[in-house]
Structure 1
Amino acid sequence: MTYDKMFQSLWLAALIFFPICNSTDTVTPTQPVRDGATLISAGENFALGFFSHGNSTNRYVGIWYNKIPDRTVVWTANRENPVRDSSGVLTINGGNLVLLNDGGHSINNSLWSTNVSTSVNYSSATLTDSGNLVLTDDHQRTLWSSFDYPTNTLLPGMKLGLNRQTGLNWNLTSWKSADDPAPGEFSIGLDPLGVPQYFLKKGSHPIWRSGPWNGVRLSGAPDINRDTVYRWSYVANDKEIYLTYSGNDTSITSRFFLDDSGSMRSLMWNDKNHRWNVMGGANQDKCDQYANCGAYGSCEPSRVAECECLMGFEPKTPGDWNLRDWAGGCVRRRSLDCDGKADGFLRLALVKVPDTSRSRVEPGLNLEACKEECLNNCSCTAYASEGDRGCLMWHGDLVDIRVYSSDDEAQDIYIRLAASELDGSAVGYSGGLQGKKKLRVTILTIIPGLLSFVLCGFCWWRKAKGREMNERCDIASNDNDIEENSKGLELSLFNITDIVAATSNFSESNMLGKGGFGPVYKGQLLNGQEIAVKRLSKNSAQGIEEFKNEVILIAKLQHRNLVRLLGYCISGQEKILIYEYLRNKSLDSLIFDQTRSAMLDWRKRFNIIVGIARGILYLHEDSIFKIIHRDLKVSNILLDDNMNPKISDFGTARIFGQDQAQANTNRVVGTYGYMSPEYAMNGRFSVKSDAFSFGVILLEIISGKRNNYFCDCCLMNLIGHVWEKWKEGKVMEVVDSSMNISSFESEVSRCIQVGLLCVQEKEKDRPNMSSVVFMLGNETMMLSPGQPAFCFGKGNCSDHPHLSTNGAICCSINEITMTKMEAR
């Protein structure tokens, strides 16, 4: 007989013949809990055993208050698999806590198990005085706990939130009915999108929202925040996000309870009256119902009609509002100018801030700086203070605003409006567009459109005359597309004569650089303004498509970390983009130059890294579009006079739908060394492929070396070099020797770790850019990186039969197959 079979026989014998002890607080392989017996915690606060509820005869294993007479159950094990009679046995088997029926005679009749992967020789489960059932091994290491798997009750010390590393959700789910503990249709849990907040849902439909944690309390849950009874704590780091609470008075028994009707209540036991008193709760009135007044509507229960549109907005469907149906919400009376100058803000006081799913915290910004940041971001619709943490900015529609009556329950929020909707006292008001500017925009919009229409008509008439006319018609059509898509934006159509004069007829002495698109020249207009002129090469195979893409796209993007497009020029075969001129040129001209790299100390490099990350985050999440750049590299990062980075070159960028995760292309465009494996090999791109490119840029900024550089006979890849040093614990050896980092080693190490996380082989292992920005700005726990993609390491060239001619040893096992590659 094997040891396992002998052990199995012994515990079965013990299960049948050993007497049951009711006073213990622990389940062991030889001391199970049968139906009719109970475990009692050491301080006798809680009990565990079998129960039935109401008229049901089904039996469940549960935990309840031991000293409260009504047997209030706070946790249930076998919610979906009841024991149909009194034959249930809770015991230990194979290191796991299991529920058996048939009196425990057959191990195969398991109705529920902790299901932990373990090979321990011995384990036991103890009921603690906090109501937590904890499974531990023989070294007292926790294998499982009931607090990690809440049912419909939140007790002091339990977590409500999310474990980022394991994906475990700590949420509450109602019973199906008062007699049936099976999972019901109501749940409450954390939504980690944007700024995290809690939602009460019926199925997948939200019916109540807590608002975010504002540093003191949940901003939209005043009745749950009463600090006279509870003391709340909120934890948010790279490992987990959760809310937990403790009682201010240990003699008070309290709990939060989600009942089968969808009501979330905070309850306190009244020992004198022997009942649970309701202290507060969620979803108390109509204005607590999620999005009751739709987008840009505010709700106040004391009003005759509780819903009103915010100032500057009007009902989207007035007829429905007359019938007290507000779900359609409100729309702007006047469109935003969106150039950062002619919009303003309305202060809306004492409100529950809108849904923060499409918002984010900007650390370290005061209200004035937050206003300027919002004005410079076309998609920013509102901002609010987050106290010492910075400010909160919204992007997209503002939903679920409620008006409160006291400062203790509310915050102020600043709503973005067109200047014409505001008076001179409004926050951020700047007076609107001047008449000359309006006239210039009108002329630039209408006249080229008319000329384009005439030219296209002429081209159509002469279509059979030859290829030259067709090309002119294509240009005019693209001109018309550009004009149509850039209406309302401060974007100038330049005359070719002015551009020729500004660049001294595209003199080579004025050339700043040359890429796949074509050469870039420095120029100076007659008014003295310096410009950068990007001239489409006549030999560029992808020219006109990328040209139109860049004009239409970048004209609608505004962020301090994106290069600003001033205008364009189309004349004959000439297609030209005119940008702001940035005196410090591109990042690669500094970090890879041994002399100029000394200009960039660690503080400057760190600010450049954070600025690039914020610019990419804007493209991915905060702009009017969801944009994948596809060609991020150090030569496409420009630096202004203060060394602030600005992302450029949007010719290959792609617009995604807000719910779109990825796309494929047969035309892979980009730069070797910066492309992610899935893009280079399969043409699949997403926000994670941009994150990979950012990781390469980050490592290049820190090391002052290109991703590919030669060392001895073999190609030494920077990613592989950093990875080797990381494993050896010598990662500081990769830092550019021109920097003194003695006071910043922890910050440098954190950045390198972020870079390695970004260049992981698999997309799912890379962080998104919102996580990157958070990790860069906070000393928080991070995942340890695994072996990255494309990690070419130095090796002995003669020892590797599969080594390529340049001596690269590839740590990645993927083979690269291209349909079409166009390097830039």
Structure 2
Amino acid sequence: MRKSSTILPYCLVVSLFVLVSSSSGTDTIQQLQNISDGQTLVSAGGIFVLGFFSPGDSGKRYLGIWFAVSNTTIVWVANRDKPLNDSSGILRIDTSGNLVLTGNPPNTIFWSTGQTSSVGATARLLDSGNFVLREGSSPTAGDFLWQSFDHPTDTMLAGMKIGPDYRTERDRNLTAWRNATDPSPGRFTYKLDPRGMGQPFVLDNTRVIFRSGPWNGIQFSGTPSMKTYPRFRSTVVQNQDEAYYQFMVTQPATLTRLMIDNSGKLTRSLWDGEKLDWLELWRSDRDRCGEYAYCGPNGVCNSDASLACNCLPGFRARNQEQWDFQNWSGGCVRNTSLNCTDGDGFRLERGMKLPDTVNSTVHVEMNLDKCRESCWRNCSCVAYASANTSGGESGCITWIGDLIDMRTFGEVEDGQNIYIRLAKADLEILGKPSKKKHETIIAITVGLALVLLFLVLWGYCSWRKRNQNAEAIIEDGSRHQTVNNGLTDENNDLPLFDLGTIALATNKFADSHKIGKGGFGCVYKGQFADGQEVAVKRLSLKYGEGIEEFKTEVRLIAKLQHRNLVRLLGCCIGGGERLLVYEYMPNSSLDAFIFGDVQKRRLLDWEKRLDIILGIARGLLYLHQDSRLRVIHRDLKAANILLDEAMNPKISDFGTARIFERNQMEDNTVKIVGTIGYMSPEYIMSGKFSEKSDIFSFGVLVLEIISGRKNQWVSQKNFHMKLLANAWRLCTENQSDRLLDDMLGLPSQFSDVLRCIQVGLLCVQESPDDRPTIQEVVLMLANRTSVLPQPEKPGFFKPTTIVAAAQWFADSCSSSSSVNVITLTNVEGR
């Protein structure tokens, strides 16, 4: 019995030791304990987990830390340079107090902290995600011998520091994984540059590709206001021991991370407990202005403008020809050189991302007034700004040389004020308007006021007339019976609606029911007594040719039946009205999505955009080849593509369409109708149109759907079709990925994107003979393995000056041989 009583406590102690040594769920490793593959440490609050994992299907084993709510979200990797080939990994604290990872071959060290302790050591996973090694056996004893926060991988957590530690000569950076299955250090690095006011960069090897802007005491001047993210509190510290950027969370339950991925994108995310997924709050490539020095030296980027880059006031493009073709890398130069002795001054630019501070000087104790004086006295100083907006404009920063990587924000609070030095002559030009300008402004204002007054009176009279007419129709429908009025007998199968019925359905054509306006009238939403929703196109009486467009559209659509064409339900002619009744499209038109706000653009991912492109192509194939009539649409554009409840595209608006004989190749017209930017060159210049005219419009539409940008035709600085020229340039320079809509990111099937871009460029080639037929287009889009021909230069009309453009339009309209009328339509979804 004595022997048994002696052995029992010993066995219990050994069993307890083994249990603790091999258990999962504890947050601490004591000396001589270990964690093997399959076991984990879990932080005290259950927030983070440390254990072994294999990324993707690599089969390699790594020791890492991840969020407990998402075991695929790895935030730190120990042996990222030296993976284990099997599950032999063991993490332990050896007899010297060093934390080591060993595996096969036996006792091979795959990673260690390189720290020792004469009094033993304890390793613990904290709720911050920091894995720490302490001296002594207590899990809370002493300072850290080592911590994972000093050795980040690709993810920054709350409380972590990014920046140089001068005491240990260690630079704490984020380094992206090489790829999704290989966590070894890749090409991209996120680091804090302590020069100037401290600004983080993303580098592709040694080349800067993104800059957050300098720290101003509240935020980085190139990132959105931190007021948007009340759960975070950021800071930048610079002293003799270290320089670092750090963010903290103000609510303990907040799970957040800042990560750089293997494509160089920097993303700030927040865990959404309801959706059980990461919510993206911000990313470095959220728009084109995120690219470092996108507009070159002294250029300013504006992501909301149709042309992203402009020169600072008082500057001009270094190479105007490259600038016109949207190659902005050369940047800008001064209109007038600075002259310190001849009245140089400063111009305020508001809401800006401050330039790169590498070539700057910070004056800690200098206010803005003294800073201005100091900069003015230094002939090399080109700009100044407040260095710390959180301290009442205390401290300032001055620049010499070119100003690099500037952008302007829509909201002033998201940027900062900067004062740009300009020569006296440029300041005078940019200053107050002259007396002549004042007189011109007054004259224009008075003229506009008179025109506005006339329009208001005319609109009121028209409204009263329409309202009275509609009321009369409703009260006495027999007074205005619907008549055929020229529609042939072959259309008798098309329902003819009574005007009173349509007036009731549209509430007397009330403005509140108006959902669009086109080249030949307005479109209203209506609802019949049985609940059926319809779209009613009401031709405007001011167009003398409107009745012809009406008859054309009735004759055409009555015979056209295809899932990608809008369906005509009936028509009405009576009481001075000409009306078409269509099926109602709840999602409006395509342009509202590809050119709309961020929320709408995000609804169209790449797969949906590809489906829309294919649907439009199938509808056009039906018009050109498969229908009983061979139809040339002549006004194919984003506003004339309607979307049903499932986002399926339907071609609409056949008022300008023409019917071809089966053997007819082309036709001429003396009245050019369509929309600038979608019309083919041969149609604009000579009135010739054919199937290839629609193909050109389809190509423009494809490039717009991919890029999310309009093919704007002319501007004061640049008369070529910007989208076509830019797409052609990017394609020839193998940079087609830069054409993508900012909302798309980089689709996994990028080969499909490249194929669609190439098809779009083939369709907009200058010569109609070079453009493919719609059958060939459908085959190109459907067959992903076929080899596509290389597109020739796109066709676009390019006057050299505003005067030349105006003269061209005047000549077109006054020609004795023909009358060319370009009808600018702007039809909204209906």
What TM-score bracket applies, with the shorter chain setting the length? 0.3 to 0.5
State TM-score, norm by structure 1: 0.48
Q: Which has the larger radius of gyration?
A: 2
Provide TM-score, normalisation by structure 2: 0.47
